[in-house]
Every structure is written in structure tokens, then in C-alpha cells.
Structure 1
Amino acid sequence: MTARIPGPLSRLGLSVALAAFLLDQAAKLIASRVLDYGVPSDLVPGLLSLLLIHNTGIAFSIGHGLDSLALIVLTAVITVAVLWIWRGATEGGRLATVGFALILGGAVGNLVDRVLYGHVVDFLYLHLGERSLFVFNLADVALTFGPILLAGVHLLGWGGGRRTG
């Protein structure tokens, strides 16, 4: 029988998910308090700015204008699916656990925003000069790097593949 990877209730799983969630929420709170809505402030001129916006869509503003309740339900269903897949995962060891935990922490961070405010707080604006790419938050960063880690584990063999005992 193949051993399962550290799951959602493991020390590693809980620590990474909670850290991703708390960092995201703290950064959103600070951004909401110190940034003027819709006014960009350069961090790396021509590439990255701070720009406070309220995103009523999902990742990268896809689904902007969709019913808020539908987005809450969709996010909750995806979060439960990630937990179910993670719970049964047997390959990838600790690196896969970190990937799953980042997805969980990021999803919950954006879900909390959507439930409390009806939108997600975004404040990191990636652009190339005047060409706008997208505005995002730290939950989105976790939701990007989590799947990258899982793809690396399962497609490229990062982390030594199968976890033993």
C-alpha cells in the first residue's frame, strides 16, 4: 500500500494553508487602508504597481459581473474538490503538500473576501508600460504557485516522486 502524502490536517498542510491565508488577508487589509482606490503607485516603474481595486469576477477578472452567490458556491465547490483530491493523494511528498496547501489558503482567502464584501480585494498591478496585464493579490499568487508545484511534482518529478513511509 502506498503511503499518503501529508494531508490537509497535517502540521505542514495546516501551516502552509494558514500562512497563505493570513498573509493574503493582512496584505489586503493594509492595501485597503493605505491605498487610494483606483490610483496606481509604481513599485517597479513600467512593470509592477500598487493599485487597489475590487474584483467582482474570479481570477484575472474573468467572470466579472457574474452573480456573487454563484461565484461563492463555485469557489467553495472547487475548494472542497481540492481537499478531496489532496486527501487521497499518494505521490509527491511534502512538495505536493505545499502545493495543495497554497491552493487551499489562496482559495479560502479569496472566498472570505467574496463572502464578507461581495468582491475580492486586488492590489498588485502587473503591466508592461501602458499595457495592462492584470491586477491580483497574494491569494492569487498562492493559487498560481500551488498548481505549478503540483505540475512540477507530477509531470517533472520534483520532490522525488512517491513518498515512502
Structure 2
Amino acid sequence: MMIKNRGSLNFFFLLVIVALNLGCDQVSKIIVRKNLVPYEQITVIKDHFILTKVENTGAFLSAGSNLPNFIRTLTLTILPVLVLGYGFWFIYSHRNLPRLMQVGICFLIGGGIGNIYDRIVHGSVTDFMHMDFILFRTGIFNLADVSIMTGIGLLLVNNLMASKARREMEEEEEEELATDQREH
């Protein structure tokens, strides 16, 4: 009984991570929608970090914005809703996943929900941040995109750590095998 309760508490905290990602994204977009006019530019860090409000009907960097409405709705709303639903099911049903993987998936889900919510409620996604550090320049993005990229980064780190651990374990097994062969 105690293990089940601990798992539920764990899932509760994972839902909090999703909610925090979604909440930060939506609050920032509400502020931008109320206080910026489209394409207005506010420099935050001299020519390097700029706020500008853009309504994006496509996906990342407006990809798919010229697709027919039915196909755009299918690929940018319906399929992502199904993928996010699968993500919830996955973290709920696989409670023994590494923590970093669980948190990464929650960041992906929170960011994904934020952008899908915009698409459904507003017909477009509000993007408003742009960075230009000469060698590193972004398109215009939002906090949901930051959550998604953070989630991807956490999953990559998790995979690198797991790969390193596997290699170390394989090396130890090879050393043990070599030691056993020398002893015989």
C-alpha cells in the first residue's frame, strides 16, 4: 500500500511540473497580448534580447502555416493532442523511469499544452521573444517553446547518462571476464 501512495505522490509532483510550465507560458502570453501591439519591438538587452508580439498560425518558425486548414488542424492540433495524451499515459504507467526522463517529459507536455491551447482558443500561437547574439540567433518564440526545448535537453542528458552508465557496466563486465579467464 505504501508503494502505491508514493507512486501517486510522485505523479502528483509530475503534474505540478506540467502545470508550472503551462502556467508560466500562459501568464507570459496574457501579459504580451495585453501590453504589446503586433510587431512592436521592445529591447530588453541592447539588440540581443527583444520582445515582439507575433501570432504564429504554423509550428516552429511558422512551418505549416500555409497548409490547408484541415491539414494544419490535423497536424498541428489533433496529432499533438494525441501525442500529449500518450505522454501523460506513459509517465503515469511507467513510474520507474529515471527522474530526469520524467521531468523532461513533463516539460515537453507542459510546453505542448501551452501551444495547443493557444491554437485552439486563439487560432494561433503567441510568440514574443527573439535573441540575437551574432553567432546565435533565434526565431521568435515563447515560454512553451523554452519548455519544449528544455524537455528535449533533459531527455538528451538522460540518454547520455544512461549510455555512459551502460558503457561503464560493459567495461566492468569485460574486466571481470578477463580476470576470470586469467585465473583459470
Per the normalisation by structure 2, the TM-score is 0.73
- SS of 2:128's equivalent in the other structure is strand
Identity over aligned pairs, percent:
25
- SS of 1:153's equivalent in the other structure is helix
- SS of 2:140's equivalent in the other structure is strand
Conserved? CA contact 1:92–1:154, under 8 Å: no
Q: 2:97 aligns with which of 91, 101, 107?
A: 91
Structure 1 residue 154 corresponds to structure 2 residue 159: yes
- SS of 2:83's equivalent in the other structure is helix
Q: Which residue of 2 aligns with 1:44?
A: 45
* Pair 1:151–1:33, CA change in 2 (3 A): same
* Pair 1:48–1:54, CA change in 2 (3 A): same
- SS of 2:65's equivalent in the other structure is coil
Conserved? CA contact 1:8–1:83, under 8 Å: no
1:88 to partner: Cα distance: 4.6
Unaligned runs of 5+ in 2: 167-184
Task: Please list, as runs of the form range in 1=range in 2, the aligned pairs for 1:113-128 lying within 5 A after superposition.
Answer: 113-128=118-133
Q: 1:104 aligns with which of 109, 115, 128?
A: 109
Structure 1 residue 69 corresponds to structure 2 residue 86: no
Higher helix content, 1 or 2:
2
Conserved? CA contact 1:8–1:14, under 8 Å: no
* Pair 1:86–1:7, CA change in 2 (3 A): farther
Q: Which amino acid aligns with 1:75?
A: P
- Root-mean-square deviation (CA, aligned residues, Å) is 2.9
Q: Which residue of 2 aligns with 1:134?
A: 139
* Pair 1:65–1:9, CA change in 2 (3 A): farther
- Paired residues, number: 156
Mapped partners of 2:39, 2:66: distance in 1: 18
Q: Which residue of 1 aligns with 2:171?
A: none
Mapped partners of 1:9, 1:111: distance in 2: 25
Per the normalisation by structure 1, the TM-score is 0.81
1:138 to partner: Cα distance: 0.5
1:46 to partner: Cα distance: 2.4
Q: Which amino acid aligns with 2:130?
A: Y
Mapped partners of 2:138, 2:119: distance in 1: 22
Conserved? CA contact 1:24–1:106, under 8 Å: yes
Mapped partners of 2:9, 2:131: distance in 1: 32
* Pair 1:128–1:7, CA change in 2 (3 A): farther
- SS of 1:98's equivalent in the other structure is helix
Deviations 1:111-143 (A, max 9, x none): 1100001100111112346x9630111000000
Mapped partners of 2:10, 2:85: distance in 1: 14
Unaligned runs of 5+ in 1: none
Mapped partners of 2:8, 2:115: distance in 1: 22
